[in-house]
Structure 1
């Protein structure tokens, strides 16, 4: 029996060899290994082809196939910033699905977190097959003319996405879960620490909070802060020392803002959660690094990236996926508790 080294030194196996071992035509091999077999080749036959390819050590000639198809097999992922853990997880999920289909993923971050970045391509249309873009970095699409390519938008208003397929998170339901949690703990004075970012996803948070608190006898005040811990601390300190009854709970648009709110509370001598409850959004690693740990809404970031890339690949195959919305859920931790007595 030939060992691995002897096999490696022999002739490179071809699709004809795979077809012979699997007992099928070369056309069937092409369909299966090109991931075009569904609805055209039976599952047992497809598995037989894959098994034959593994046995022979067959690898398709990607360069030749790309030239034949007129594709680069490259997708662009447009995100606000690589330093944000959420978008790093989105990339992980997107790249995992892309790799299974022989695609590469190029990251395109905005240098200041939002807004346009320098175009890294002479011609996006010549360099890319399609684009997966976060609504928080949608301005970058104009820079690279990415909206002229097959496009899937993440966390974006379906009505304003230029007809692109959208994959969303159920942000409104996440806020509803937060408000039900706080109302159940007796809170009726709420401060909304909003992200000072002009993006649909944060507009949804504000609208959902107002809707969830409507008719509950709860007062809510909104202040905005840039997405950083220190900015949030400064804004929260000012809001907590403003004239009038102090809020008993702060609903934050993300975990960084919530961490800043907790720092503000400590500087003012307030205990979390005995004097002030704080909630976040995202469930980043930061949420369990602070003390007390944050009550927050967990977003399935990797699955989000996976679904987004799967939708883009479907678009590239000529399909029109519908809008997809992924569920989110509240993770109660130590930063929330009953409203202070007498509040």
Structure 2
């Protein structure tokens, strides 16, 4: 429902918010300006935000931004909107941004990966900072040579070109998947890896190899690669599962989309899941429960991931140097994984 604009004489002021929250006007300015961290407590900040919401207080953003030399706009660079995971990342980033009076512009790299043209005539003049996925790093070439602060998502924390890093513990996710399948008796594995060059997929591959051979040195591991596309994944899986030699009894996929391709390949080959072949994914998209059987996968906290990225950028803009963040992940066991078939 549309709320009519309040007459200037009756609009609540920052003084009204301060009085309602029991704080000074300076504290209201800090909180609503996103500069309260390290200066006031989280409890006080919540009180100020609650008072502002109750009074329907709206600061004069145009005047404040002009005074601060800020646009209150962040750019979120992701590989593609066709991937559900990044839609959730955006949702989390936008929700956190709204708490601090920021807007988030979403910019998907063309074709999912690869270089992107500068989406603004002058990026530094249009943005306060950039949050980017490691899967779209080539798209950041448009911002090289600028002084825009950069927060990287799912990237090498040793990379000092970024002002902050927010990661998912994907290595632990791979260890959990591997341990689950080893516990079910599997010893012959196929890793259907993403063909997208990215730090996050390199970490997954390394963690899988280390967890597998560190626990079961005689286990076999093959690797096949495919683009993040169901048809391509099905084709790669078909070739790998019909290659000479003993057939793998478990396929570990870098992504739920790849796992969907594997399930499609198994039907074509007349294989039963999980009786003949166990299949696991990564991400826990809605797709995971739409498949039959439902997919064993690693759940990633996508919205929290985006929110923490935006919070890190806000901290950088406040003059802080945030410590690297690594969010925990969760193994979700469903019907696509089961005991290894008897040989």
**What TM-score does the superposition give when structure 1 sets the normalisation length?**
0.92
- State the match for 2:97 in structure 1: 98
Does 1:325 find its partner at 2:326? Answer: yes
Question: Using the alignment, how far apart are the partners of 2:227 and 2:266 within structure 1?
Answer: 18
Spell out, residue by residue over 1:18-37, the C-alpha distance to the aligned partner (whole angstroms, 9 max, x if none).
Answer: 45666765434323432434
Paired residue secondary structure (1:160): coil
Larger Rg over CA atoms = 1
* Structure 1 pair 147–264 and aligned structure 2 pair: CA distance change class (3 A): farther
Q: Which runs of 5+ in 1 are unaligned?
A: none
- State the match for 1:139 in structure 2: 138
- State the match for 1:180 in structure 2: 179
Does 1:171 find its partner at 2:174? Answer: no
The 8 Å contact of residues 282 and 298 in structure 2, kept in 1 or not, is answered as yes
* Structure 1 pair 52–267 and aligned structure 2 pair: CA distance change class (3 A): closer
- State the match for 2:243 in structure 1: 242
Q: Which runs of 5+ in 2 are unaligned?
A: none
Measured after TM superposition, the shift of residue 162 of structure 1 is 1.6
Does 1:304 find its partner at 2:305? Answer: yes
Measured after TM superposition, the shift of residue 83 of structure 1 is 1.3
- State the match for 1:81 in structure 2: 80
Measured after TM superposition, the shift of residue 52 of structure 1 is 5.6
Question: Using the alignment, how far apart are the partners of 2:39 and 2:178 within structure 1?
Answer: 49
* Structure 1 pair 67–333 and aligned structure 2 pair: CA distance change class (3 A): same
Question: Using the alignment, how far apart are the partners of 1:147 and 1:211 within structure 2?
Answer: 39
Does 1:212 find its partner at 2:211? Answer: yes
Measured after TM superposition, the shift of residue 15 of structure 1 is 3.0
* Structure 1 pair 53–174 and aligned structure 2 pair: CA distance change class (3 A): closer
The 8 Å contact of residues 154 and 168 in structure 1, kept in 2 or not, is answered as yes
Question: Using the alignment, how far apart are the partners of 2:41 and 2:282 within structure 1?
Answer: 44
The 8 Å contact of residues 18 and 49 in structure 1, kept in 2 or not, is answered as yes
The 8 Å contact of residues 71 and 129 in structure 1, kept in 2 or not, is answered as yes
Paired residue secondary structure (2:177): helix
* Structure 1 pair 120–172 and aligned structure 2 pair: CA distance change class (3 A): same
* Structure 1 pair 51–328 and aligned structure 2 pair: CA distance change class (3 A): closer
- State the match for 1:313 in structure 2: 314
The 8 Å contact of residues 141 and 147 in structure 1, kept in 2 or not, is answered as no
- Matched residues, number: 339
* Structure 1 pair 177–60 and aligned structure 2 pair: CA distance change class (3 A): same
The 8 Å contact of residues 124 and 145 in structure 1, kept in 2 or not, is answered as no
Measured after TM superposition, the shift of residue 115 of structure 1 is 1.1
The 8 Å contact of residues 32 and 100 in structure 2, kept in 1 or not, is answered as no
Residues 23-38 of structure 1 mapped to structure 2, 5 A cutoff? 25-38=24-37
* Structure 1 pair 23–238 and aligned structure 2 pair: CA distance change class (3 A): closer
Q: What is the CA RMSD across the aligned residues, in angstroms?
A: 2.3
The 8 Å contact of residues 316 and 322 in structure 2, kept in 1 or not, is answered as yes
The 8 Å contact of residues 152 and 165 in structure 2, kept in 1 or not, is answered as yes
The 8 Å contact of residues 116 and 141 in structure 2, kept in 1 or not, is answered as no
Spell out, residue by residue over 1:64-100, the C-alpha distance to the aligned partner (whole angstroms, 9 max, x if none).
Answer: 0000000000000000001110000000000000001
Question: Using the alignment, how far apart are the partners of 1:5 and 1:160 within structure 2?
Answer: 49
- State the match for 1:127 in structure 2: 126
The 8 Å contact of residues 150 and 312 in structure 1, kept in 2 or not, is answered as yes
Question: Using the alignment, how far apart are the partners of 1:186 and 1:45 within structure 2?
Answer: 54
